[in-house]
Amino acid sequence: MAAPTTAKRVLHYLLFKGTVREGNYGTRVCTFLKKTIEERGNKATVIDPEVLDLPLLKKPLHFYQDRSQAPQVLHDVDKLIRDCDGFIFVSAEYNQSLPPALTNTVDHFPPASFKHRPAGVCTYSMGRFAGVRAGVIIRAFLSEIGTLHIPATFSIGEVHKAFSEDGVPTEDRTKESAARMLKELDWYATAICDSKEKYGAPST
């Protein structure tokens, strides 16, 4: 007897673009990832710090005693964070560390909003090391806000050669590397969603 089949869960991911520096390649990477996610039957929303234009962090959402006094953009993005099924953090490497635009964006929101969801890590650089040093640092950062960073990564060396201006990869290996990460992210996100529906989220 054939095993019963179930409908595929449609997952919604947030892609956090990490940099606003002039001439950055993060837009190309996010364009490619968003399209690839959608081709897999899921949904993706890009959180672009240049579009959000949040100020240098002085008062995050969770520091407002009366949250109704917080800017509406913080409420809107916080809802996206709380409602999504997982994250992908797209980070360049600045001085062997993370871009300030990425941490400034994330730190505007309470860690509780990120908890109990999987996170994929995508790093890139114009050199051959593909931003791996930023990738090491971001794992501690993601653990602190309560996400589960998955083992598979998507690292892009010589990013200026890897994509056309409209985010089309120039080599098949780029597609294959992204597919490995997204397949694993889908597995973790689906498992966590199923567990939450059956048992609820862990109490903290």
Predicted model pTM: 0.93
Q: Tell me, yes or no, whether 1 lies in a domain.
A: no
pLDDT digits (tens, 9 = 90+) for 60-113: 999 999 999 999 999 999 999 999 999 999 999 999 999 999 999 999 999 999
Count of structural domains within the chain: 1
Predicted pLDDT of residue 6: 57
The CATH number of the domain holding residue 82 is 3.40.50.360
Percent of the chain clearing pLDDT 90 (strictly above): 88
Strands, sheet with 86-91, edge to edge from the N-terminal-most edge strand: 43-47, 12-17, 86-91, 118-124, 148-156
Residue 152 lies in a domain: yes
97 within some domain: yes
Contact, 14 vs 47, CB < 8 A?
yes
How many percent of the chain have pLDDT more than 70? 97
Q: Residue 117 domain-assigned?
A: yes
Position 131 in a domain: yes
What pLDDT score was predicted for residue 4?
47
Rounded to an integer, the average pLDDT of 18-27 is 94
In a domain, 105, yes or no: yes
Domain containing 78 equals: 12-199
